[in-house]
Amino acid sequence: MRLALLIALCSLLGCTTAAPAPDRTGPLSFRVTFVEPPGGEDSAAPLPFDVDGATHRITIEAIGYDRQLLTDFTATVALKVTPAQLLSAPFVLVQNGLAQTEVTFSRGLGQVRIWVSDEGTDETPGSYATGVSDVVHYELPTVRQVQETPNTTTSPMEGSYVHIRGWDPENPDSRDLRVTSVTNDGFYVTDLNDPPGSYNSLFAFSFSRPDGLDVGMRLERLSGKIEEFLGFTEMGFPDWVVAEADEAPAIEILDPFIVCDSPAMEAWESSVVKVVALESDFGGIGDCEDYNEYGQWPARLLDPKTLDPIQCGGDDARINVVNINTVPSYTFDECGDFGRPDDRYISALTGILRHNQYASPSWILEVRSCMDFPPELRPADCEAQLRLPLSGPRKAPQYLYRDIPECEGHLTSR
């Protein structure tokens, strides 16, 4: 009742309350400048994409609300470089409004800036004043520069949103970035300017079949977020521009003796390759179980000259093959009763090389269509499959549900 009377009295008497004055004792912004010109000031003459990193010395000045140097400001401020990878310390101490420090960063692409912000701490909130340097222009990376790594399960640019350089006839270093395969959940590209097996292929995961893309198309640009899926590098949420259509690139023969060398195999990841001389090998206890559940089957690699099994540290060199999503009529029916299928010799098999760090073996050849099999092993319905091609999801449906004719009104098989 007293509060209601007070409000009514204030409304009659015209009471006013003053808002608290803003705190202007801290910095309004920061001035960030390079001690020496870093290069790349002109967008027409960008610096080359750098994987090793470069160091630049910068000056930081705290600017007060009077637009003058704030000499009574002392605090630790945050440093960021974007889009790039910061290699030096992510913070610097500003004393009496000034600081000089060295900033090292690598893999800058496009328009790169150094950011400074007063973010404070849990005990002392910051002013959130911000400053940014002039732009340093860098070339966009190639597929190889995004992919190349000594580690088979991580990407050097994982978590980064990148723009990959593509086809531009006016650019002296234009890249022949070509679509090599299209699936129901994305597409594969290869940069033909780099030699085969040089980290020059990449999978773009678009969640569904991408519209307007066909094998052989050149791309002007490809952008997206680099991610790792079970040790397989892919670009998520891709965006692309088609430059022109052209013929599909030639398919390279994979040297079977490098299957034992994971770093060498990593350089071929996402490439369309042909494997010569192999045979199915359901010798493991869980091979039929994996085939039933995931549609993948193990293959032993043979020496193309002698047809003897290639060895990896005393064991047979093997890869996994997946065709259930694209050529479902090529089957190993014995696995339905968990019986061991007889070994089948295959003179050559083509597909996309993928990696799954949790599979055994971890390298997978994903068949694109029935034409990837040699003529003598193509299933009887190959011609019908080519008229209505299947290119399924990354993981085959569970085998118990593959024969259900419809799922929410959509056909699940022919």
291 and 388 fall within a common domain = yes
DSSP strand pairing (201-205 vs 232-244): parallel
Q: Which two tokens stand for residue 178?
A: 């070509």
pLDDT of residue 325: 85
Which of 186, 210, 244 terminates a domain? The answer is: 244
Tens of pLDDT along 29-58?
999 999 999 999 998 899 999 988 999 999
67 and 49 fall within a common domain = yes
108 and 188 fall within a common domain = no
DSSP state of 226: E
273 and 207 fall within a common domain = no
304 and 260 fall within a common domain = yes
- Cα(180)–Cα(85) distance, rounded to whole angstroms? 30
256 and 319 fall within a common domain = yes
Among 194, 171, 202, 341, which Cα is nearest to 270's?
202
CATH number for the domain harbouring residue 233: 2.40.50
Q: Which two tokens stand for residue 80?
A: 């960021």
Q: Is 6 inside any structural domain? A: no
Q: Is 11 inside any structural domain? A: no
Q: Is 2 inside any structural domain? A: no
pLDDT of residue 85: 93
- Cα(115)–Cα(80) distance, rounded to whole angstroms? 5
pLDDT of residue 404: 46
Q: Which two tokens stand for residue 97?
A: 């409004």
260 and 354 fall within a common domain = yes
262 and 396 fall within a common domain = yes
- Cα(181)–Cα(190) distance, rounded to whole angstroms? 10
Give me the domain span that covers residue 228.
143-244
Tens of pLDDT along 3-21?
555 555 555 555 566 677 6
283 CB-side CA count, 13 A: 14
pLDDT of residue 390: 66
Residue 35, exposed/middle/buried by CB under 10 A (0-12, 13-18, 19+)? exposed
263 and 368 fall within a common domain = yes
pLDDT of residue 138: 95
Beta bridge partners of 70: none
The tally of domains found in the chain comes to 3
pLDDT of residue 224: 95
- Cα(120)–Cα(126) distance, rounded to whole angstroms? 4
pLDDT of residue 229: 87
pLDDT of residue 62: 97
pLDDT of residue 10: 56
Q: Is 281 inside any structural domain? A: yes
261 and 394 fall within a common domain = yes
pLDDT of residue 380: 93
Q: Which residues of the chain have pLDDT under 70?
A: 1-18, 21, 390-414
pLDDT of residue 86: 95
